[in-house]
Structure 1
């Protein structure tokens, strides 16, 4: 049996609890009894826990009663965790429980609980991009990856927002039980075993954050339609009919990302799509996506994804029909 515990609290996001736990529960359908996952929800408070969406869950027991050495210990997230703190005994218990666990981690903003317990110090982690700056201020020594759905750093596993907890659970399931079991679970849940685009949160950056008639949204659309064009910040400022300084300030405020980062994300997205779905030579992909030079594209992939375009294609290209 593999023991899995998830720490929850009043105000937790219910899918942060149910998503990962459902993955492991579904896996039991395909495993021999001796290989089953034994699941447990631990409550930070006593009694029923009312989630952020109004759903009420009942923990199996209070965290203070749990002294097991779990195979996996996860912490749920919740929309108020940026500012919400718990009594010190929660963090003390969590440090000891994580030390005993084979693996531990968080779903989305649950990383704030890990950080306040000192469990992210000097570690590499991820969280939903919208929380990244806040998490960095809580734990300055952590390296926060804003472009990943999940990150493993030794025994530590962290994930980005909401449904990325399911991606993380499927990843762990693949590590422990293999691709076939994980694929069967993904099919049962009608989700991707591995999302198109791999581990990236980039698609979230490309969504408009403003009204359709906003100059920022219009510039974003222009970028997506003209990847091979001049997309320097100065050129985009001219399209928005703003001064360079004002455009940079307004774009960053409304899009939560700089113009240059948005452009690179858009070009990365186009390149990834071609790498995943075509056999187009790398030079042509670099040209079509606006990188122009294969070496420039390679450097962007190494910097943002930690892999080369060729390695990315080998790992993520869809099989031929």
Structure 2
């Protein structure tokens, strides 16, 4: 296949790894490809003046928008910590809105999804972003279908990825699509990353929702659950702790926390189990007991549903030395 041009949009406050990760993937892929098949990567911005990344690093674009073509093979927008709360950048988003439809493939890395949202390019599409910002993306662009747990996602010509290092996963997937999984695997080995991560973003995020208002009956119930996580929690018992009828308690719990009592308890147990898997050498049976799962099989089922990996796989990935 002919040489592919990959353009990455940068901006003031960009996340440096959103840029460097994919660039390194495509550069390393060139080491395993014949010359005609090489990737050519270049950085685009409003102009060629140096910008400051969120970590303080300086970088400069190869081309400003006024000199850039608008029909790249791949056009990606890097994210940045400030983007979810930033106002629309008219110059950047207007250029993006005009250029993206002319590219063979276009999309975002991390919170770069907000740039695509402001450019009107997410509506009607399945998309993802960093787990911390997924709810805000869904609220800001209600016509988009936001998946909170995908590492990367492709919907037609639009690709989006989760947070920061997920840009590497996305770039590896594009290399595999272009040149096969063996080339992608060689690149992953060279960069000392996995070629395809198991599970979704949930395994990297705090799973509990924010606690209810301090001192409220619902907060009292939450505290009791966390202090006695190995116990059984019939709704009648929790309602008694809250001083409410079971029906009123269930309704009030959802109003204050946004989840059902059962959902809260299961999330709490997952978080306790995760901490034990990360920080102890307890057998899986013991982890299941101390975190309130009835047995290791039940814990495995819940982990697969919530995190996309088994407890053993989670421990292998995250256990501290």
TM-score normalized by the length of structure 2: 0.72
Query: What is the total number of aligned residue pairs between the two structures?
Result: 280
Partner residue of 2:165 out of 163, 166, 169: 163
The residue that corresponds to 2:192 in the other structure is: 190
Deviation at 1:63, TM superposition (A): 2.0
Question: After superposition, where does 1:117-156 map in structure 2 within 5 Å?
Answer: 117-156=119-158
CA deviation map 1:52-93 (0-9, x unaligned):
000000110112321241111000101111122344232221
Question: After superposition, where does 1:231-310 map in structure 2 within 5 Å?
Answer: 260-261=262-263, 288-290=296-298
Deviation at 1:291, TM superposition (A): 7.7
1:204 aligns with 2:212: no
Unpaired runs of at least 5, structure 1:
274-285, 317-321
Change (3 A) 1:63 1:113: same
Counterparts of 1:128 and 1:196, CA distance in 2: 17
The residue that corresponds to 1:91 in the other structure is: 93
CA RMSD of aligned residues (A): 4.0
The residue that corresponds to 2:113 in the other structure is: 111
For the pair shown, the structure with the greater C-alpha radius of gyration is 2
Counterparts of 2:298 and 2:67, CA distance in 1: 57
CA deviation map 1:76-125 (0-9, x unaligned):
10111112234423222111211111111111111000000000001110
The residue that corresponds to 1:179 in the other structure is: 181
TM-score normalized by the length of structure 1: 0.72
Change (3 A) 1:261 1:55: farther
Question: After superposition, where does 1:55-66 map in structure 2 within 5 Å?
Answer: 55-66=57-68
Unpaired runs of at least 5, structure 2:
212-218, 278-293, 314-321
Change (3 A) 1:31 1:206: same
Maintained 8 Å contact 2:128/2:150: yes
Counterparts of 1:16 and 1:61, CA distance in 2: 18
Maintained 8 Å contact 2:70/2:100: no
